[in-house]
Amino acid sequence: MHTLDGHRIVVASHNAGKLREFADLMAPFGIEAKSAKDYGLPEPDETGTTFEENAYIKAFAAAKATGLPALSDDSGLCVDALGGAPGVYTANWAEAPDGSRDFGMAMQRAEVALQEVGAVDP
């Protein structure tokens, strides 16, 4: 079991905005939040089929690599009319051919999928 020895915690993310959010939440308690990126950790493959599983994968990998307590979250867009898609695959829907992420493109893909199931007017 990990303790907050030294009052540090790893936010298992490479996202600067997410780190800021967690750091702001932890600061009033005297806990310093550093990102997985700050520790030079790679992003683990998110192989879970739920947001909870993917958050666990990231937090467990960061805790194991640093010996510090870690936390993570995972989220995405779940559209009822698409059977919950894209869900945990939201980032995949946004992946451009060059490997970057384009969430505008992901929203266009969602629009097309919604049209295909008759959930919106073309």
Question: Exactly one of 74, 80, 98, 121 is catalytic; which is it?
Answer: 74
Please compute the mean of the pLDDT values over residues 93-120 and round it to a whole number.
90
Asked if the model's pLDDT at residue 11 lies above 90, the reply is yes
Model confidence band, residue 122 (pLDDT cutoffs 50, 70, 90): low
Q: Which structure tokens are listed for 19?
A: 């780190």
Q: Which tens digits make up the pLDDT trace of 25-80?
A: 999 999 999 999 999 999 999 999 999 999 999 999 999 999 999 999 999 999 99
- Cα–Cα distance, 32 to 9 (Å, whole number): 6
- Cα–Cα distance, 97 to 50 (Å, whole number): 25
Please compute the mean of the pLDDT values over residues 5-12 and round it to a whole number.
86
- 102 in active site: no
DSSP state of 72: -
Whole-number average pLDDT of the chain:
91
Ordered alpha helix ranges (H), 1-122: 16-26, 51-66, 90-93, 103-116
The position carrying tokens 């308690």 is 29
What's the whole-model pTM score? Answer: 0.81
Asked if the model's pLDDT at residue 1 lies above 50, the reply is no
Q: For the chain, what percent of residues have pLDDT higher than 90?
A: 76
The answer to whether the CB of 94 falls within 8 A of the CB of 101 is yes
Can you give the pLDDT at residue 101?
87
Q: Where are the domains of the chain?
A: 8-71, 80-116
